[in-house]
Amino acid sequence: AEIPAFVTGYLPVDGDSVHLMRKVEVNGDDPVWLFLRHSFPGEIEWNFDGLFLLDQEGVPVGRYRASELGRRGGEDPHEQRRSVSVREPSPPRGRLDADLKYLLTQSGWL
């Protein structure tokens, strides 16, 4: 209950478009975060800055910082998410793709 209350002070998490997950080390070996960081490389500086946009097929299409999605005076938070630019994901990197697929399969994600 403490984490969702904290997050709502920083991010527009209302509605069905945002999902808070269990507590994990976001720069660790959790398969979801490995997959996301593979698509948009780089360590996540702060747990609540690990914001990724996935398309309807579950493909990561954007990575953002919380400050990019902060509430702006009177603007609908859903409109804010639409207005943030989407960066291109990194191209596949051979062996890492196979390792990610294995991790996701073993964890029940694939």
From first to last of the 110 residues of the chain, give the pLDDT tens digit.
677 777 777 666 666 666 777 788 888 888 888 888 888 888 888 766 778 888 877 788 888 876 666 544 445 544 544 444 445 555 555 555 666 666 667 666 66
Domain that residue 6 falls in: 2-106
Q: How many domains does the chain have?
A: 1
Return the pLDDT at 30. Answer: 87
Residue 69: CB atoms within 10 A of its CB come to 19
| Long-range contacts from 74-81, C-beta under 8 angstroms, 24+ separation | 77/12, 77/14, 78/12, 78/15, 78/17, 80/12, 81/12, 81/17, 81/53
- Other CB atoms within a 10 A radius of the CB of residue 97 amount to 11
- Residue 62: the pLDDT is 84
Supply the pLDDT for residue 104. Answer: 66
